[in-house]
């Protein structure tokens, strides 16, 4: 098979190479997926660049997310069959066979059926961003009905799915964005109210529109904490999925508001919580409630350029087509 891989951390155009490898075989409770679309997330390029402590064991085929067709199943696999369309998540976590290849082998628990109505592009958009969004929203759609959610950065990948999942759950959604282009994307995702965060009196405008919010899905806690606390209802939750080197917190307002502050990294989410996020995402997908982000597609041979496009902050989803 053709595959992209790196043997050491470093810049994309220095360490990523595309070559032929022997096609791997699935082991017990594993499946092999013929990849049609491989989705790239910030965590993929950050891991390749060496911003965390994970290092390749010999080599690493990158990318967690993807869509394709089950090509082979190992012993003990239940609920998946050869020929079935699927989407993947966390494919490259503690596993060298990520989705930036013609075939990926991964645990069957990280492979989810893809409905006939859903495109491969949409399937490759899910994974890390949709599951992060679901977990930041509380992991269960039942807890959101009739609630109000503020999504910071509603045009980003996590923000996009947070809007759609919260709307599917029956919540009212307010989102903040930085440009009119991003505002259009947030409206298309179904946000009830879209505001520019750089305009004056944003907190007052949110208050006038919805009174207050019960949960915040936050991409920039340092920059937005004052706004979040100003609009959050008593006992509300701020759930952030962004890593910041330093975060100074206002202890008084947090305590007086009985605020719950959550930090979310998908790698550390428990199996039970992850399964809940997968179930919510799959239900929304089956109901036609999720949509693909704007796509920038690259061939596998240009995987380095594709990862660099994500590094540069592309608004949408960069994918590779093996």
Angle between helices 202-210 and 221-231 (to 10 degrees): 40
Same domain, 100 and 144: no
Co-location of 121 and 138 in the same domain: no
Q: What is the pLDDT of residue 177?
A: 97
Is there a domain that residue 285 lies in? no
Nearest to residue 44, comparing CAs of 62, 67, 57? 62
Q: Do the domain assignments include residue 274?
A: no
- Rounded to whole angstroms, the Cα distance separating 55 from 72 reads 28
Question: Could you tell me the residue range of the domain that residue 32 belongs to?
Answer: 2-126+290-321
pLDDT in tens, 103-161: 999 999 999 999 999 999 999 999 999 999 999 999 777 889 999 999 999 999 999 99
- Asked if residue 189 is part of any domain, the answer here is yes
Convert the pLDDT of each residue in 208-219 to its tens digit: 999 999 999 999
In this structure, are 56 and 118 located in the same domain? yes
284 part of a folded domain: no
Tell me, yes or no, whether 275 lies in a domain. no
- Which residues 6+ apart lie within 8 Å of 74 measured at CB? 25, 26, 27, 28, 29, 30, 31, 108
* Domain shared by 249 and 295, yes or no: no
176 is a domain residue: yes
pLDDT tens for each residue of 241-261: 988 888 888 899 999 999 999
Question: Are 246 and 306 in the same domain?
Answer: no
d(CA 238, CA 223): 13
* Count: domains in the chain: 2
Q: Coil, strand or helix: which one is 12? A: helix
- Per-residue pLDDT at 55 exceeds 90: no
CATH number at residue 253: 3.90.180.10
In a domain? residue 57: yes
User: Are both 144 and 193 inside the same structural domain?
Assistant: yes
């Amino acid at each position: 098979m053709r595959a992209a891989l790196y043997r050491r951390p470093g810049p994309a155009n220095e360490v990523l190479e595309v070559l032929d490898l022997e096609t791997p075989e699935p082991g017990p409770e594993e499946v092999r997926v013929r990849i049609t679309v491989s989705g790239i997330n910030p965590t993929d390029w950050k891991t390749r660049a060496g911003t965390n402590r994970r290092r390749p064991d010999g080599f690493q085929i990158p990318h967690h997310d993807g869509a394709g067709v089950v090509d082979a199943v190992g012993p003990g696999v239940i609920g998946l069959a050869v020929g079935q369309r699927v989407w993947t998540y966390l494919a490259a976590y503690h596993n060298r066979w990520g989705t930036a290849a013609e075939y990926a082998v991964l645990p069957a628990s990280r492979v989810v059926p893809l409905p006939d109505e859903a495109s491969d592009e949409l399937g490759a958009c899910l994974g890390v961003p949709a599951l992060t969004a679901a977990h930041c929203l509380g992991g269960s759609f039942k807890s959101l009905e009739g609630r109000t959610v503020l999504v910071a950065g509603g045009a980003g990948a996590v923000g996009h799915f947070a809007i759609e999942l919260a709307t599917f759950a029956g919540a009212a959604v307010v989102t903040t964005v930085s440009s009119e282009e991003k505002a259009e994307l947030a409206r298309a995702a179904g946000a009830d109210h879209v505001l520019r965060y750089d305009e004056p009196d944003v907190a007052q405008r949110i208050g006038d529109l919805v009174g207050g919010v019960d949960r915040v899905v936050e991409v920039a806690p340092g920059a937005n904490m004052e706004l979040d606390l100003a609009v959050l209802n008593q006992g509300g939750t701020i759930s952030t999925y962004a890593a910041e080197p330093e975060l100074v917190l206002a202890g008084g307002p947090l305590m007086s508001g009985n605020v719950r502050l959550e930090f979310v990294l998908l790698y550390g989410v428990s199996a039970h919580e992850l399964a809940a996020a997968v179930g919510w995402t799959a239900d929304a997908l089956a109901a036609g409630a999720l949509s693909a982000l704007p796509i920038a597609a690259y061939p596998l041979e240009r995987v380095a350029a594709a990862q660099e496009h994500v590094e540069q902050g592309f608004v949408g989803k960069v994918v590779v087509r093996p």
